[in-house]
Amino acid sequence: MKNKKILDLIAPDTKVYLWIIGVLLVILSFYEPIIAFLGVILLGYLIFYYWRNVHIKKEEWTKYIESLTEELDSATKHAIFNMPIPLTIVEIDGTINWYNTQFLDMVEDKDILNKNLELIIPGFKIDYIHEKKDLSPIEISFRDRYYKVYYNIVNLKKTTTAKDAIIMLYWIDNTAFSILRHKYIDEKMCLGIIQVDNYDEVRNNTDEGNRPLVFAEIDKRINEFMIRINGCVRKYENDKYIIILENRYLESSELKKFDILDQIREINMGNKIPVTLSIGVGVNGENPFQTYEYARAAIDIALGRGGDQAVVKRPSRFNFYGGKTQAVEKRNKVKARVISHALRQLIDQSEKVFVMGHKIADMDSFGASIGILRVAKNRNKKAYMVLRGINPSIKNLYDRMREEQPEYLDQIITPEEANNIADKSSILIVVDNHRPSYTEDPDLLNIIEKAVLIDHHRRGEEFIKDPVLMYLEPYASSTCELVTEILYYMSDKLELTRFEADSLLAGISVDTKNFTFQTGVRTFEAASFLKRAGADTTSVRKLFKDDFDTYVCKAEVIRDAVIIHGKIAISRFPKETEDSLLIAAQAANDLLNINGIVASFVLTLSSGKVHISGRSTGEISVQLILEKLGGGGHLTSAGAQLENTTIDDAEILLKKNLDEYLREGEDE
């Protein structure tokens, strides 16, 4: 068929002319039969000549094509056999069928025929080819050389199956480029900032004679650390250092979990409190300035998470190291007063005030929101609390609000209502949360340009973008404590109602577990201020009362708990009820009352998601464990939500993270 098409192209189509002559001879036979007869004879000769000519040309063309094919096959075989790069042909399972001399020289083994390629070249998996959806090369190292392996699958039959195919592998030596690339990556400059977290506290709590020794020892250990990693360090303030190091040494420091943190903490030269460092490192910025900005962002996050840790910022991710100790309180009243005055000015400049906490509000979030409403009322501003719904954690407080101060009910609006009335002249105050996705209404952050953040959680990777004012204090017990301090400095004429004072004290109580965890001097000062304002501890305690069914459910959760590693309790409440989150949180708290238990986790279901409540006595950081599951919180209290999973799978993930955390602790 192909030959016919070619002949049609190269030979004139004389058939048309022969048909025309035939038709003319038929017409002529009616008028001149003799002449027509002679014409038929001539036509027959022409047809014979045409057929003979076409046949000869067809044979010649066929011979030409055959000879050309043979020449091409010969050239192809010659090229393959003499290809200057290693080449091998394997079956679909990796069995070697053929190889050229260059491949033999590459593997330095003469007996490889009919052996599996995976045995000859460790690290190469034939499944790579089957799994890949494109023809991009496979990078592999072999005997101190680096290769890019190109491949193509050749089907041997038209009706092919897996057995009817072979794989041709082309091994391109990429060693020079790979070495250059690795050298570039290893020698890339990284910029970091080191800050002594508690410089003033250490100085003030160390005898005057020992102070020079303590700070000299800090300088010495930091310098020794940088010498070990061939880095450069310069001190530019009493408590701040800037460091420059190569990427290869940064990676080795990451493998060691920045052991300089432990070395600094071990300093004992007359200092009454341990010294801690925060380290922020920027990597892979497009230019030195961007790398410096990465370092600034990293150190801010390290400090925002409570210090005593290192944060490495790369373009697409953060890495966290340390943070396993309780942060030392170092807040001062000057900062609280400055924040209070700045917030007052921002509220005065705004027409409407919106306050918003986190999803599934708790006492701390709800109480802090009530405190902000009180501030706005004091400044004669329209204020609204964005709340999606009432949950069991705040139901008692909400019911009391409805009885004692029902005017607040008109100020509580849904996210949809907030989106309709908010504008650019408004201000949004986010309390007890710094993650946009975890707020009651993430869209509101895009509508309102001015956002204020008040939170006490350790800072995570996700963060509200460019707040105009930020009061993030991981050293505080609760957001209600921070809001109470703001209220204290807001105005001399600001007077709290008994309900408002109780709401703020309830928030402090729930996050400190009745003043037993994360409780500092400032916590008691805030509680004292609220007590003077009319707060009643008996009334606050009533807010935490549960019904009989809730107590029974908590008892079942505690009964079903399993102790792992001899000190960690894990249980679950597999029923999805209105009170499931409250039961899980309270059960996790109660499990810590068992002798020998230093951490507890309770899993439950709510809104189709698996929720994990984690609690600790401080020996184990539940925040670091649950952060790996997308959660967050504090050293002693944290939570996480998992979507598209079962409670069984969530427990497996939790145990895996626990094992990793404990192994890291042993390695350190």
| Residue range 207-262, pLDDT digits in tens | 888 999 999 999 999 999 999 999 999 999 999 999 999 999 999 999 888 989 98
Is pLDDT of 404 > 60? yes
Rounded distance between C-alpha atoms, residue 329 and residue 411, angstroms: 35
pLDDT of residue 367: 95
Confidence (pLDDT) at 357: 94
Mean pLDDT of 593-600: 92
Provide the 10 A C-beta neighbour count for residue 596.
Answer: 9
What would the two tokens of residue 28 be? 């002529």
What pLDDT score was predicted for residue 194? 95
139 in Cβ contact with 174 (< 8 Å): yes
- Give the whole-number percent of the chain exceeding pLDDT 90: 40
Element (H, E) at 142: strand 138-142
Q: Which residues contact 191 (CB under 8 A, 6 or more apart)?
A: 242, 243, 244, 281, 282, 285, 288, 291, 292, 294, 295
Residue 231 C-alpha from the chain's centroid: 29
- Give the distance from CA 117 to its chain's centroid: 37
- Which range has the worst mean pLDDT, 179-183, 478-482, 544-548? 544-548
Instruction: Give me the percent of the chain exceeding a pLDDT of 70.
Output: 90
Please tell me the class of the 188-320 domain.
alpha beta
Tokens (6 digits) for 513: 């577990």
Please state, in angstroms and as integers, the Cα–Cα distance from residue 239 to each residue in 215, 263, 323, 550, following that order. Answer: 9, 17, 19, 51
Least confident of 69-78, 84-93, 176-185: 69-78
Residue 300 among known ligand-binding residues:
no
Distance CA 560, CA 463 (A): 37
Kindly indicate the confidence band of residue 159, based on its pLDDT and cuts at 50, 70 and 90: very low
- Does pLDDT of 310 surpass 50? yes
Alpha carbon distance 533, 402 (integer Å): 20
Q: How far is CA 563 from the centre of its chain?
A: 30
Q: For the chain, how long is the longest CA-to-CA vector?
A: 143
User: Of all residues in the chain, what percent are helix, strand and coil, respectively (each to 5)?
Assistant: 50, 20, 30
Q: Please give the pLDDT value at position 74.
A: 62
pLDDT at 32 over 70: yes
What three-state secondary structure class fits 23?
helix
Mapping DSSP onto H, E and C, the string for 372-414 reads HHHHHHHCCCEEEEECCCCCHHHHHHHHHHHHHCHHHHHHEEC
Of 561, 562, 609, which Cα lies nearest the Cα of 587? 561
- For residue 5, the model assigns a pLDDT of 47
Burial zone of 81 (CB within 10 Å; 0-12 exposed, 13-18 middle, 19+ buried): exposed
Contact yes or no for 339/453 (Cβ under 8 A) = no
Say if residue 358 carries a ligand binding annotation: yes
Tell how far CA 339 is from the center of its chain.
Answer: 32
Q: How confident is the model at residue 582 (pLDDT cuts 50, 70, 90)?
A: confident
Q: Is 456 among the annotated ligand-binding positions?
A: yes
Whether the per-residue pLDDT at 64 is higher than 70: the answer is no
Nearest to 369 by CA among 382, 355, 381: 355
Residue 144 among known ligand-binding residues: no
Question: What is the CATH number that goes with domain 546-663?
Answer: 3.10.310.30
What's the pLDDT tens digit per position in 255-302?
A: 888 989 989 989 988 888 889 999 999 999 999 999 999 999 899 888
The class of domain 85-180 in CATH terms is alpha beta
Q: Which CATH architecture has domain 341-542?
A: Alpha-Beta Complex (3.90)
pLDDT band at 430 (very low <50, low <70, confident <90, very high): very high
| Distance from chain centroid for Cα 517 | 30
What whole-number distance in Å separates Cα of residue 108 and Cα of residue 364?
70
Is residue 562 pLDDT above 90, yes or no? yes
Question: Cα–Cα distance between 286 and 283 in angstroms, integer?
Answer: 9
- Does 511 show up as a binding residue in the annotation? yes
* Mean pLDDT (the chain, rounded): 85
pLDDT at 202 over 70: yes
Measure the CA–CA gap between 123 and 261, rounded to whole angstroms: 37
| 361: CB partners within 8 A, 6+ apart | 369, 387, 391, 393, 394, 440
Q: Is 443 annotated as a binding residue?
A: no
Detail the DSSP E strand segments found in 432-559: 450-455, 469-472
* Residue 6 confidence (pLDDT): 45
Give, as one character, the DSSP assignment of residue 271. B
Q: What are the extents of the domains in the chain?
A: 6-81, 85-180, 188-320, 341-542, 546-663
| Confidence tier at 160 by pLDDT (50, 70, 90) | very low
Whether residue 616 contacts residue 635, with contact meaning beta carbons closer than 8 Å, is answered with yes
Rounded distance, CA 394 to CA 581, Å?
A: 12
End-to-end, the C-alpha distance of the chain in Å comes to 77
Instruction: Determine how many CB atoms are found less than 10 A away from the CB of residue 346.
Output: 16
- Give the 3-state DSSP-derived string for 455-481, with helices as H, strands as E and coil as C: ECCCCCCCCCCCCCEEEECCCCCCHHH
Q: Is the pLDDT of residue 19 over 80?
A: no
| Residues in a beta bridge with 352 | 382
321 — pLDDT class (breaks 50, 70, 90): confident
Q: Is the dihedral of CA 435, 436, 439, 445 positive or negative?
A: positive
Give Cα 49 distance to the centre of its chain.
82
pTM score, whole prediction: 0.64
Q: Would you place residue 653 in the very low, low, confident or very high pLDDT band (cuts 50, 70, 90)?
A: very high
